[in-house]
Every structure is written in C-alpha cells, then in structure tokens.
Amino acid sequence: MLSYRHAFHAGNPADVLKHLVWIQVLDYFTQKDKPFMVLDTHAGAGMYLIESTMARKTGEWQTGIGKLWEQADEALPEAVARYRQVIKAANASPALKHYPGSPWISGYCTRHADPLRFFERHSTDAPLLAQTLRFVQKRTQINVADGLAGLKALMPPPQRRAAVLIDPSYEDKTDYGKVVASLRDAVQRFATGTYVLWYPILARREAVELPDRLVKLGVPNWLHVTLTTQPPATDGLGMIGSGLFVINPPWTLPQTLESTLPWLTETLGEPGCGAFTLDWQIA
C-alpha cells in the first residue's frame, strides 16, 4: 500500500518527537571520529512546503513545529533548541516555509565520511528525495525499494557503526509484525547498531501491543518514549500521539528526555491531553 504521503503531516508533534530524538542520536554518533552509516527505511520526499496544498489541508504543522518556531531561545530546553536550530537551517529566511524530513536532517547532521542510505518506494517521492539531497549527493544512495529488505541486506555495515531509522506509515496492519521481525533479524546480524523505530499511538490492537513485542526481543539496551498531545478520537481511530523504541540508545538520551519531555508535553499537548512516558534499560 503506497497511498500515504507525509506532506499532510510534516512538522506535527509526532515529527517533533521523532526528529528531536533522531538529532540527538546523530549528534552522539558524530562525537567520535570514526564514520558511521545512516540508514532510513521509509525516507519520503525529504523536504516539505508547509504552505503546500497537502499541508494546508490538515494544518498539522501548527500543532508541532509551529508552536516552537517563534519562542525565545532561552525559553527552550537544550534538546528543543538544537532541534529548532536544525529546522531553521532548512529555511533560507526567518519565516517557516519548509519542514525537512529525516533524510535532510541526516545529511545536515552528519559528515562527509558518513554514508547515507535511503529507501523510498513511492514513485512520486523518490525523485523529490534525490533533488532534496543534492547537497550530500556524493555519499548518498537512494533505493526505490522495500526499506526493510534493504535493512537486512546492509547489516552489518562495513563501518561497523550504524544509526537506523524505521518509520513506516502503518497503513497496513501487517507493518507491525514486519518491523518486529526486521528488528529481530537486524540485531542478530549487527547487535551494536542503534535502531530507532517510530510508531503511532492508536486504539488499534497491533499498535497497543507493539512496545511489549519489542521489549520481548530481549535486547539488553533499549529506550521507549511516548508523547500524547491529542484527545481520543470519537470514533476511536485517530492518532493521539506517537512513540519511539530505540535499541542501543546513546547513554545520554534518557537524561536528555527526562529534562525535555515535561516542557514538550506542556507546550504541544492540547489542554488536559498532554502526557508522556519514558522507560529504558541500559545494561
């Protein structure tokens, strides 16, 4: 199923959480001189106009990055300030016109020696992604293929260091089982990689059960964070928040999120609806 288009949702609270954590992961990896591979299994177009027809149809960015854009620097927690700094770097003017996807963020936050591997199956988004990533073209490979199959083929990486982002749309309920199987296989092939899995918080049984299935993979080091910002939909079907399950997280990430999530929840959550959870196990 390839009907999902991220342009409708770019810059929403789920993107804020996902990209804030992803930037923390990339910044941690670049502290060492040794190169590492970045792999993104569901890359999308890489850059989104917030005034596009699709973005205007939902206006979701206004509930996410829109609430952070104009705030004074001193009002922001350090991790939020870093996140906003990266988003501002994607905009040529002080006004918020573009929201970068994870591929652009990966290119911006990494170095010339760090290879970038992106997978995007959508026939419209793949050419847009190539255009977006011209500034890192020499170290980038874009594959119009199944990203979970690509993950299997590329683990372990030659560099013996890797940061992997997995964020399917979950339009197809079989995606939940596929990501669990893919992570199980990936950690068997390359146990020391950092894997960041995004998922939506929904009433759907598969979404509710996913975190427990991931914990039961038995990896020694993991972090699980959720951010809820919306009231439950009257039909029970709407997304009220999102979560990230990180295998082999940076050791600094739990403390960073502990100091950031209360502020982020209060700022992005609708009145009476903001909440977060944070659990981790570091062996």
Residue 167 annotated to the active site: yes
CB–CB of 261/278 below 8 Å?
yes
DSSP lists the bridge partners of residue 166 as: 197
Q: Are 266 and 206 in contact (CB under 8 A)?
A: no
Backbone angles phi, psi at 97, to 5 degrees: -120, -30
Token pair, residue 183, equals 């992570």
Reported residue count of the chain is 283
Place of tokens 């917030």: 50
d(CA 190, CA 160): 8
d(CA 175, CA 206) in angstroms, rounded, equals 9
State how far the alpha carbon of 281 is from the alpha carbons of 78, 195, 218, 267, in Å. 23, 15, 11, 27
Selecting among 33, 167, 175, 185, the annotated active-site residue is 167
Q: How far is CA 200 from the centre of its chain?
A: 11
Closest by alpha carbon to 104, among 92, 87, 120? 87
Contact 245, 214 (CB under 8 A): yes
Helix/strand/coil for 171: coil
- Is residue 194 within 8 A of residue 177, CB to CB? The reply is no
The residue type found at 25 is V
Instruction: Confirm if 254 and 278 have CB atoms less than 8 A apart.
Output: yes
* Catalytic residue ranges: 167
